[in-house]
Chain A
Amino acid sequence: MAQKILLKNINVPGINTFEVYRQYGGYAAVEKALKTMSADDVVEEVKKSGLRGRGGAGFPTGMKWSFLAKPEGVPRYLVCNADESEPGTFKDRYLMTHTPHTLIEGMIVSSFALGANTSYIYVRGEMMPQIRILEKAIAEAKNAGFLGKNILGTGYDLEIYVQPGGGAYICGEETALLESLEGKRGNPRIKPPFPAIAGLYGCPTVVNNVESIAAVSWIVNNGGDEYAKIGIGRSTGTKLISASGNINKPGVYEIELGLSVEEFIYSDEYCGGIANGKRLKAVVAGGSSVPILPANLILKLSNGQPRLMSYESLAEGGFATGTMLGSGGFIVMDEDACIVRNTWNFSRFYHHESCGQCSPCREGTGWMEKVLHRIEYGHGKMSDIDLLVDVSKKIEGNTICPLGDAAAWPVASAIRHFRDEFEWHVNNPQAAMDGNYGLANYADPIPVVEEAN
């Protein structure tokens, strides 16, 4: 059995309450950190652990923390990003619903490490039930002396507040989130300055994903070196994967990084194979923003080796044959899924969610949506396919925040790997309305490229 860190006790009845969570060893990390370690010691352990941000970008958490400015007399903030809106991603909701104290404990230890005395958890507004769950968990922890003034008699003060969003994907982007937390529209800020220098209310701020913060308690308890032993290479530790689409067992799974993609999809411990006896056509491995891969490329690298669930292995081959781990939103499509329709759907999403500040993103996403709609609905021209590639290139890299790239990549990658299916739509407008190109050759073995060394 693979090691579990975040979801180890998920099936224990009552683990959502302080009492049971504590019985199972909860809040030991708070005692250890506050009573026996300095803030810098905690940062050091997190650095050693190799933990990388679980919100999507994979930036090393310890390094991010060490960039935090510490001017005299200025408050510092930790803001937890619980905006979770990337299509395909639902792990943070799962963790907060079933084991909220795992997040609260991580928040306390992380706030201590950063020297924050007020911290916020920004939860997407639609998660009202989770907001209530977190508020209850905070009240319980406070009651037991783990929050508030002079925690455990150590002299450290901390308040944690839960902030609801208003419904906007863009508020998951960290500077849009900070704007929103200040009571404004969620328009991303131009960087620099980075939040580590000027974040919430202009003060030094760290923004971290729910899962990153939740992992810190285990690292404090067991040491960064122990954490780094789990996983593979620079992909240390465990990762929550949200598995959805045409599989037998959709849900949230905690994996040790380095598991093979094939095992993740087909073994009964995880997805349990493709539903209804169908065959695998494509996977979007890290949330809607990352490039889609056909079955043959997601299962194997170009040298014929199995592809693994790790930052490096998923990215192997660059955008030509690879993708990204992203937020771990693993969307599986079977032979009946229509790639054109799905691509249109995603581009509609990005158009809807663009904040409108930059013209390449605002106009380009609308344009891509329109062209994809016409291909899907039988009015496409062959030249539309190259037009889409062209628009996606004009957005990529030309915007204030990465939403532009996130909108461009799914379209560019779908055309790169499934051009046949787009052409089939143009050539067979009638059939394309309610059918699709099927599995075609997308699961066929690919020629193995010999490595140079």
Chain B
Amino acid sequence: MSTKAHADHDHHDHKPTGIKRWLFSTNHKDIGTMYLVFSLIMFFIGGSMAMIIRAELFQPGLQFVDPQFYNSMVTVHALVMIFGAIMPAGVGLANWMIPIMIGAPDMALPRMNNMSFWIMPFAFALLLGTFFMEGGAPAGGWTMYPPLVLQTGKAFPFLIFAVHFLGISSIMGAINIIATVFNMRAPGMTLMRLPLFVWTWVITAFLLIASMPVLAGAVTMLLTDKYFGTSFFNAAGGGDPVLFQHIFWFFGHPEVYILILPAFGIISQIIPTFARKPLFGYASMVYATASIAILSFFVWAHHMFTVGLPINGELFFMYATMLIAVPTGVKVFNWVATMWKGAMTFETPMLFALAFVILFTIGGFSGLMLGITPVDFQYHDTYFVVAHFHYVLLTGAVFALMASAYYWLPKWTGHMYDEKLAKIHFWLSAIFANVLFFPQHFLGLAGMPRRIPDYSVQFADFNMVSSLGGFAYGISQLLFVYIVIKCVLGGKKATGQVWEGARGLEWTLSSPPPYHSFTKSPKVTKALMDY
């Protein structure tokens, strides 16, 4: 793009204007922005479904929706949040940040980048369109277990193809990230100098490439079972309904780490910045992330302890699952050690990062408890599980994404966000996320199964508390949108450095960075990353 003659005029970038800039964009920053905006929209669509769920569960009895529609809410909320909100947000951050963190001019495969983004709105049009079809949206749970999922009405093929498209989009994104990181690093940016966010994304990309095709296979078999007379999962035809669960969770458990590893990376960028001290145990962070990724392929059946596995299988998956606590613990200890004897300040990104460390760890604790097979026979499919995975995904992954948004907004927009409002947003989120999800531990232990539209009166009190927390959490996220818009439109000018303690190539660029950055490779030295 920029020719030699233009090298000095980075600020007068050539870019298409209007709708074409976005529709045909091959620019990593524009595509990153589109991913992030898309994921925020999806966060609110999935969030409004959660509001309907919490409204129905506010008190016993059926007040607002029918059980079938309630099941659709549960199902589509999960699909939208996982595939529409958290994953694209991670890809958006990768698009924006990886090239400028490793000193590359753009992603390695810019046209594929465009395509992998533009597939997504169509995939979600397929999925969300099912609400207007005969028989309603999918209602068998996002895990799509047969035979129940085969009872889906006209929505069934739309569900399957939406999943296929989302898988294709993710795989293309993953290929792009791997190609970029392995081929386009600036001289001196050795692998063991990569910012942790880049490392966790490379590992995530490998998980995506290895696990997404497995999901595609599983849902294709569902499709042929429904329409082409095969019996992969049909016991009456000699098939095996549990086989689907094995295949699904062989994808599903790595998927969990696809959602959380980029969050680990974000936190590993933010804590050193605001502690003004290098990340503790960089190498062990990389190895721990890789160990978690590898182990994630050997623990899938802990989602299926109650299907009736042979005892040796249950023991194997229990041990493997508990083993994941070791590298995860290493990461948490490293973060705490990074804070130790630092000189901390508590801007909003740091507040979200600290809340992440605590609340994700609580989710990890309940995860360890769930991994103990004989006790899981009680926990399984109850609200204890719901509390667990919302601690790791909402106060874990989403909090990390919020932290990253505040951390990099000044870099992206060139303006500082409103720190006061942002802190209010943080405290509202942190408090109400706990009011929302902590009581669900008690509900699960007291015997409330998940995915039910109505419940026995003994569960009423904590459900009401949880719903109130849910409404307050949901409303306070509107504040985030306001803060982002305000920051895009104006505010105090941000310097290139933005944060006093920030280190790395992205902070050597102006804020906002030029449309085309690092058209000439920077030289990376050890000193650049040092404190």
* Co-complex (A, B): no
**Residues of A with Cβ closer than 8 Å to B?**
none
